[in-house]
Amino acid sequence: MQAAVAAVSRTGAKFISGGTNLLDLMKLEIERPTHLVDISRLPLKQVDDLPDGGIRIGAQAANSAVAAHARVRALYPALSEALLAGASGQLRNKASIGGNLLQRTRCPYFYDTAAACNKRDPGAGCAALGGFNRIHAVLGASDACIATHPSDMAVAMSALEARIELLSRDRSTRCVAIDDFYRLPGSTPHIDTVWQPGELITAVILPPPPPGGQRYRKVRDRASYEFALVSVAAVIATDRETITAARVAFGGVAHKPWRSFEAEAALRGRLATLTTYEAAADVAMRSAVGRGQNDFKIVLAKRTLCRTLADAAQIAAERPS
């Protein structure tokens, strides 16, 4: 692993694993690495139990392998559902967990080198602001970029409070909470994460599963092989119909997986009813701003949250205590 980190320290070098996003970017000359360091065969494919009851997922594990892993399906079903909602079977077989975390936005202007894009070319402007923005962000956007984060997996990981383990070229390691790993665009939308050049993602750590039921729901323009218009990862625990704990994260609405602590606070201590879910959805979308074509996402996100919370509460109620 250290050899890979040393090899990528050359100017312009990049890691490659599944290549399911990087190769597209290279074909369009959006990414032009001088060297590629293949990390796909590093011994980072294991899913291991941790002493505290959590699990450690190696960053080179395939998305499909993690989705099908017995412990993931039993303890973190929202993660398995999110992985299976992403891409196609072929891509899930090829794509790594680490690469999934670092994939770039699917804003069409980012991939159109004739269009102005601050994320691809800082200072160039943002063609999406006055252009086709049906798929763009309604939360946390800026005047520099209204792109959304594309990963399903990362949304579930946000609700499950995952931590990202990174190895740097000075041999030190650090763990970053997933909500701190991703950035909002602000005035520097070309920087997606706090990942530092040359750092190798070695694992994702999941703490012990939260109590209650879990559900990931994705709404998209077609049934498969499509990015989310809106998605929700929800975890909810109840005691005699009163919500005792809740976690909520949205996908497709912001530059990062959008954990809504405000919605969680609005759920705790209330009855698990549609009225409660609708009130939490209003809170979650209170600061949402549409750009015209994507106004529908605000309503869609509220409805998706209500449906996902109802599903998760049903699962919680049916679990043996």
Contact pick of 107, 154, 206, 281 for ligand SF4 (by CB under 6 A)? 107
Q: Which of residues 292-311 bind ligand SF4 (CB under 6 A)?
A: none
- Name which of 61 and 146 has its Cβ closer to ligand SF4: 146
Instruction: Select from 30-38, 109-117, 174-182, 274-282 the region that touches ligand SF4 (CB under 6 A).
Output: 109-117
Asked if 105 interacts with ligand SF4 (CB under 6 A), we say yes
- Cβ contact 251:152 at 8 Å: yes
Asked if 117 interacts with ligand SF4 (CB under 6 A), we say yes
Asked if 30 interacts with ligand SF4 (CB under 6 A), we say no
Asked if 118 interacts with ligand SF4 (CB under 6 A), we say yes
Cα 83 to Cα 41: distance, rounded to the nearest angstrom: 21
- Name which of 109 and 216 has its Cβ closer to ligand SF4: 109
Q: Which of residues 139-168 bind ligand SF4 (CB under 6 A)?
A: 145-147
- Name which of 32 and 240 has its Cβ closer to ligand SF4: 32
Q: Which of 253, 232, 263 lies closest to 298, judged by CA?
A: 253
- Supply the minimum distance, in Å, between the C-beta of residue 37 and ligand SF4: 26
Burial of 91 (0-12, 13-18, 19+ CB in 10 A): middle
Pairing of strands 258-259, 242-251: antiparallel
Asked if 254 interacts with ligand SF4 (CB under 6 A), we say no
- Name which of 149 and 247 has its Cβ closer to ligand SF4: 149
Contact set with ligand SF4 (CB under 6 A): 105, 107, 109-110, 117-119, 126-128, 145-147, 189
